Structures are given as C-alpha cells and as structure tokens.
Structure 1
Amino acid sequence: MSVFAWPIRVYFEDTDMAGVVYYANYLKFMERARTEWLRGLGFEQDRLKEEERLVFAVRSAEVDYLSPARFNDALVVESRVVRAGRASIAFAQEVLRDDDDKRVLLAQGRIKVACLDAQTFKPAAMPRLLLEAVNSVC
C-alpha cells in the first residue's frame, strides 16, 4: 500500500486559545493532503468538475486526537488508500511531527469520500482513468 506524504506548517490561525491546533483543523490538513494526493495522480478537482461533472465529498470521518500540535510545528500528513470502489475511496490518514529522533503520531483519521455527480450530488462512478490511477496505489 503506497503512502503519500504532504508537509504542513502550523500557522497562528490554526491554533486555539490554548495555543494548540484547533481540533477541526486536523480535518483541513487531511483534506489538503488528499487534494495534493489526487493532484499527484494527475487529476485536478476543478477539471474533474468541469470536464467530468464529478466532485468528491466527505461521506464519513472518524478522527482520534493523540497529542497536540502547536504554532510553527512542521507536520506531515500521510495518506493511504485503504479501499477504492467505483464511486468511493476510503483513506487512512495520520498527522505526524518529527521530534528529535522520533516521529510522534498526533492524530489519525479514517475518511471516506464519495464521488458525486456535480449537479445532482448523487453517487457517480469515477472515470476509468481515475479509478485505474487510484487502484494503482492501493
């Protein structure tokens, strides 16, 4: 199973009053990593919408928060495809920070995205080339 890693820097706007990353921002970090993963496969979401009439939407998300990230931390989001169907992709994602000589797991998520018709928002099959690209990294 292929792992896609995307670096993220924590900005002041990502933190809460306690000075740690606000919990919902981990979902944003994971979203950015999935977008970059898709781009790395050669597919842009705006082009999929315009040319294929397809969009992706999060169907379910489950996140475990294990350790806090703070302002200016350099993080990495690792994404793995767990399962790919004709109209959905299940991901396992981890947000990590390198501390000295060890990697610390901060949050882990299980995210399922659905492929939808951009006009009706009903499930739609991924184009053959996209599905083949996704399956090539499983």
Structure 2
Amino acid sequence: MNSAIKITVGAEAGATTVVTKELTVRHSHSNMPEVYATPCMIHLMEIAASNAVQPYLPAGWVSVGVDVNIRHLAPTPVGRTVTAYARVTKVTHKLIEFEVLAHDGKNLIGKGTHSRAPVNLARFEQTLSGLSA
C-alpha cells in the first residue's frame, strides 16, 4: 500500500438501492422467488466499503474487493429500499478490513466481513491489459 494512504479505523459509509425485479434472484432463475438476490446485496456492501475508503486514497487510486464472508439473513421484496453500511475494522500494509451489514428498513438482511486492497488504477489496468486473450 502507498505510504501516503492513511485510512482511519472506524471510517464508515453507506450505499442505497431500491429493489427492482432486475435485482431479484428470479431475474436470473425463473423458478426462484422474487426477492433481493444475494450477489446484489454483496455488491451493495462492496460499494459501501469502497465509499468508506475512497476519500483517503490518492488521486488515481481505487480499492478492489478481495474477500467476502457474508450471511444473507432475510428476504427482501421488490420495492423496498436497501441500505448497506461498511465500517473499517483493521488496516494492514496490504488490506483494509470491514464489518458490513445491510438493512431493508424493516429487517437486518445481511451481515459479515469484507476486505479490499488499494491499487493504483493505471498500474492495475496496465497489468490487466497484459492478461488480454
């Protein structure tokens, strides 16, 4: 991690979405219930975590997800607003660890942990271009 990056334990942020039919498990699997899909909830948690640390990163840097350990606790129907929250719990020389949760206005629908790594975007994209098929 760049030594100029000073991320504070306790930094937090959120992200919100309204559950639409496109965000339900039925959208991908017609025989499943029309409820908020677990991958969509995890994605929202990742956005919240990214939002929590982006202000601490130098220009040209972003964070990328490297680990998720999430439990989906309750179903959420179409029309509800889901808010994910992320709080930094630990910062090491390579990773930022978070406690994450999601709530749909009535229930805690998910919780767990997530880790992200800060990366220089230009360098990351250069490495990626070398992997092209």
TM-score by length of 2: 0.68
| In structure 2, distance between residues paired with 1:120 and 1:28 | 21
- Kindly state the Cα deviation for residue 95 of structure 1 after the two structures are TM-superposed: 0.4
Aligned to 1:21: 36
Aligned to 1:34: 49
**Secondary structure at 1:75's aligned position in 2?**
strand
Structure 2 gaps of 5+ residues are 1-9, 27-32, 126-133
| In structure 2, distance between residues paired with 1:26 and 1:59 | 16
CA contact (8 A) 2:69 2:113 kept: yes
Aligned to 1:84: 91
Given the alignment of the two structures, is residue 66 of structure 1 paired with residue 73 of structure 2, yes or no? yes
Given the alignment of the two structures, is residue 109 of structure 1 paired with residue 109 of structure 2, yes or no? no
**Secondary structure at 2:105's aligned position in 1?**
strand
Letter in 2 for 1:16: V
TM-score by length of 1: 0.66
Given the alignment of the two structures, is residue 6 of structure 1 paired with residue 12 of structure 2, yes or no? no
**Secondary structure at 1:31's aligned position in 2?**
helix
- Kindly state the Cα deviation for residue 32 of structure 1 after the two structures are TM-superposed: 1.9
Structure 1 gaps of 5+ residues are 122-138
Distance 1:42 1:72, change over 3 A: farther
- Kindly state the Cα deviation for residue 117 of structure 1 after the two structures are TM-superposed: 4.6
CA contact (8 A) 2:19 2:80 kept: yes
- Give the number of equivalent residue pairs: 109
Distance 1:85 1:22, change over 3 A: same
| In structure 2, distance between residues paired with 1:63 and 1:112 | 11
State percent identity of aligned pairs.
16
CA contact (8 A) 2:12 2:52 kept: no
| In structure 2, distance between residues paired with 1:113 and 1:92 | 12
CA contact (8 A) 1:82 1:90 kept: yes
What are the within-5 Å matches in structure 2 for residues 89-104 of structure 1? Answer: 89-99=96-106, 104=107
Letter in 2 for 1:110: T
- Kindly state the Cα deviation for residue 7 of structure 1 after the two structures are TM-superposed: 2.5
